[in-house]
Chains A and B, each alone.
Chain A
Amino acid sequence: MIQSKPAMEGKDIYLPEPAKLLKVEPLTRQEAFFEFTLLSGRDLGHLPGQFVELSVPGIGEAPISVSSSPTVRGYFEMVIRRAGNVTTALHRMEPGSILGVRGPFGTHFPVDTVMKGKDVLFICGGIGLVPVRSAIQYVLHHRADYGRVMIVIGTKTPADRLFAEEMEKWRKHKQVTLLETVDRRDETWTGAEGVITRLLPLVQVDPPKTIAVICGPPIMYKFVVVELIKMKVPDESIFLSFERHMKCGVGKCGHCQINGIYVCQDGPVFNFTDVREVEEAI
């Protein structure tokens, strides 16, 4: 049985706590769905948009965003793309395996503050849907606290789509609009084709009432932000989740730094007004 021993003096910010892999299911060629629980029995205590550092003993540690809502108790979910050493090892793990978890770290989508009472526009490209799913689930769980919910999703090909069944459930909620596009269609796809920004003009927003949340590949941000500004969504109503190499999660190692900002501590979720003048950010 794996246990973590506390440090001699004070808290060791690098010491993971043990977690158990409950479930793993392949989703696409590259991504798999994982369910974990902390051995201590406590809930992870995250908010939508936060991430953890996941340790595979003998392989290493990688930052992974939490994909389930904190309203789901007893376990938490992640969708992990096979990209490096740690994630490749994770894809090979069996249920029952013990891993290490540090976190949750960073800022979250403002589901508990400025989003309340507002129309919410989620814009997700590729695996950007993974952290945003946590916020979508949270908002739909507390449906009465928000106005209209608009979800715009772009994926490379139909085979890369994540949470396809869940999307159908989202559509059935009251006042939920879900628009989807793929970059390249195949014979199975009857929906829209093209980049995600082509869907945005189709969304009817009431700009002063709308909060926009964006997460996707680095290239997507500038195009989506420009489109939102055209739609007259105020800068302070735009929130972006950034990807960087968040090695330590505690603002020390330097890898995720953008100018004076540490993405692991000051982000990964930023208000657009805090990063629009920051070079190298978008």
Chain B
Amino acid sequence: MTIKKIGPTTLERWVDSLIGQQRVFGAQAQGDKFAFAPLTQAARLRLDYDVAVTAPKAFLQPPCETLLRFGARGYESVLDTEPFVLFGVHPYDAVGILQMDTVFAEGQPDIHYLTRRAQATLVVCDVQNASPNVFAGCMNTAVLEEGGDVLLTRINDDYLVEGRSAKGEALMKALASEPEAEAGDLQFRKMVWDHNRQLLRRHELKVKPEDLPAMLDKSYDHPVWEEKSKRCFSCGSCNLVCPTCYCFNVREDVRWDLQNGERVRTWDGCMLTEFALVAGGHNFRRKKAERYRHRYYRKGKYLYDQHRQIACVGCGRCIGACVAKIANPVEVYNRLAEGPR
């Protein structure tokens, strides 16, 4: 695969040309924060962002998406088949997306996700500024060893651009005449990676991520679930910002004629009071502590048992989003590591 070295002007020209060809969603400033949004000009792209408020997987599993349309002809599938580029995805968020790929493809494949995913080109960008709560360095997600379609790494004022798939190489066709990266550049990139593995550790996890499943296995009755969840508002903010939360609700939106409408899928969250409620009124996770524990078990054990991947990528968004300040996974896991008390 090709690795090019380009200057800032070339980068801008390249991005502007992509915008002319397909939808591009990129990290941009929004107030004092950053968010992925439709990119209208390369100059608005902020590859130096620290963290995007919402994980970019929102463009693959949107907060609200139409699954079906219904009317006189019955139900019909609705699929999003328009190509797009996600530009500047951080490695930890890319890991989240790769996990979603597994989740939606395994068992009974979900063609709504997979169709949109097939249209997406993932341009990953190594982190330039650490966000206040990131701990990707502890979760082995600070650097994306493989995967994605293109990898960007900033080297002083330039960028190294690595094609990582046929789709990525196709996107890089416009850079064909640009110089190849030299051995020194690659050496520098390795230093960036080593640096990021250390930099993205604003919270220090005292156990190895691969030890979490076994640790959780012994911690079902640990007092931490009750202690932390006492202050939980059951607002689901931690679910909303999480790159690996994909649970959903489905509802019908009907038009005024009561004949036509859409079946839509919306994000849901296991921390919300009614998540495990059934129609008869029985709630299978009535207590806050049960819902709080379920979330950590799902991230650190249940999904691991299914896919051998810890479903926490260390982005730290939940820490910042939690109003009650109880959602720091590192605090919870370190506490469990100390033992029962």
Contact = CB atoms under 8 A, between A and B. Distances in A.
Interface of A: 2-16, 18, 55, 57-62, 81, 83-84, 87, 98, 100, 217-218, 243-245, 247-248, 250-255, 257-260, 265, 279-280
A17 to B, nearest CB: 9
Contact of B111 (A4, A9, A58, A255): A9
B227 interface: no
Contacts, number: 145
Interface SS majority for chain A = loop
B297 interface: yes
B279 interface: yes
B276 A251 contact: no
A60 B252 contact: yes
Contacts of A4: 74-76
B43 interface: no
Contacts of B254: 58-59
Interface in B94-122: 103-104, 107-112, 114-115
A253 B246 CA distance: 7
Nearest to A254: B247
Given A61-B250, A260-B306, 12 more contacts: A2-B73, A13-B110, A13-B111, A57-B70, A57-B261, A59-B252, A245-B277, A245-B284, A252-B103, A252-B246, A259-B302, A280-B285
B190 interface: no
> Of B74, B77, B306, which is in contact with the most chain A CB atoms at under 10 Å from its CB?
B74
B214 interface: no
A13 B109 contact: yes
A253 B258 CA distance: 27
Interface in B236-255: 246-252, 254
A60 B250 contact: yes
A87 to B, nearest CB: 7
A244 B294 CA distance: 15
14 contacts: A2-B72, A4-B74, A10-B111, A12-B67, A58-B258, A81-B279, A83-B280, A253-B249, A254-B247, A257-B302, A259-B302, A260-B302, A260-B306, A280-B284
